[in-house]
Amino acid sequence: MALFARSAIVTFWLIAILVGAFPRIAAAVVRITDDRGGNIGVYWSRYMALRDSGEQVVIDGTCSSACTIVLGIVPYDRICVTPNAVLGFHAAWRPGVLGFKVINGPATRTLLSFYPDPIRQWIARNGGLGTDMMLLSGPELFAIYRQCR
C-alpha cells in the first residue's frame, strides 16, 4: 500500500511538472479593423459578452460611433491599439426633416457615460460631441491607450 501511495505522489508531481513546462494557451484576441458602428444596444450586448470572455481587444483600424463603447466596457488593460487605429466619436442622432441630423440628447449622454475619463476629457477638449465625426489616432491615442506589441 505504501508503494502505491508513493507511486501516486511521484506520478502527481511528474504530471504537475509536465503541465507547467508547456506554454500557456493565450486568451483569444478580437481584432477591430473596420467597424463604423450601429445600434448602441447591439454593441453593448456584444461587448458585455466580450468583457466576460476575458478576450483581448486589438484596435487595428477604424472603430467609430457605437463601436467605441468597447473602451468603457472591456477593461482598459485588455485593450491595445496599433498605428492603424482610428477612433471616431460623434453624438447620437436620428434623421430629421429633409435628412438633417437631429441630436438625441439622452442617447448622447448614455454614449458618453460608457467612455473612461481620459476619452471624455479628450472629447471635451476637442469641442464635445456633435453631428460631425471627431477622430482620435496616432500620438494622441497612444497617450491614452497602450500600443500593441
Q: What is the pLDDT of residues 58-67, one digit of tens each?
A: 999 999 999 9
Domain of 109 in residue numbering reads as: 28-142
Has residue 22 been placed in a domain?
A: no
Has residue 14 been placed in a domain?
A: no
Is the whole model's pTM more than 0.85, yes or no? no
Has residue 147 been placed in a domain?
A: no
Q: What is the pLDDT of residues 6-19, one digit of tens each?
A: 444 433 333 333 33
- Closest alpha carbon to 140 in 130, 125, 128: 125
Number of structural domains in the chain: 1
SS3 readout for 79-104: EEECCCCEEEECCCEEECHHHCEEEC
CATH number at residue 37: 3.90.226.10
| Chain position carrying cell 496616432 | 138
Has residue 8 been placed in a domain?
A: no
Has residue 149 been placed in a domain?
A: no
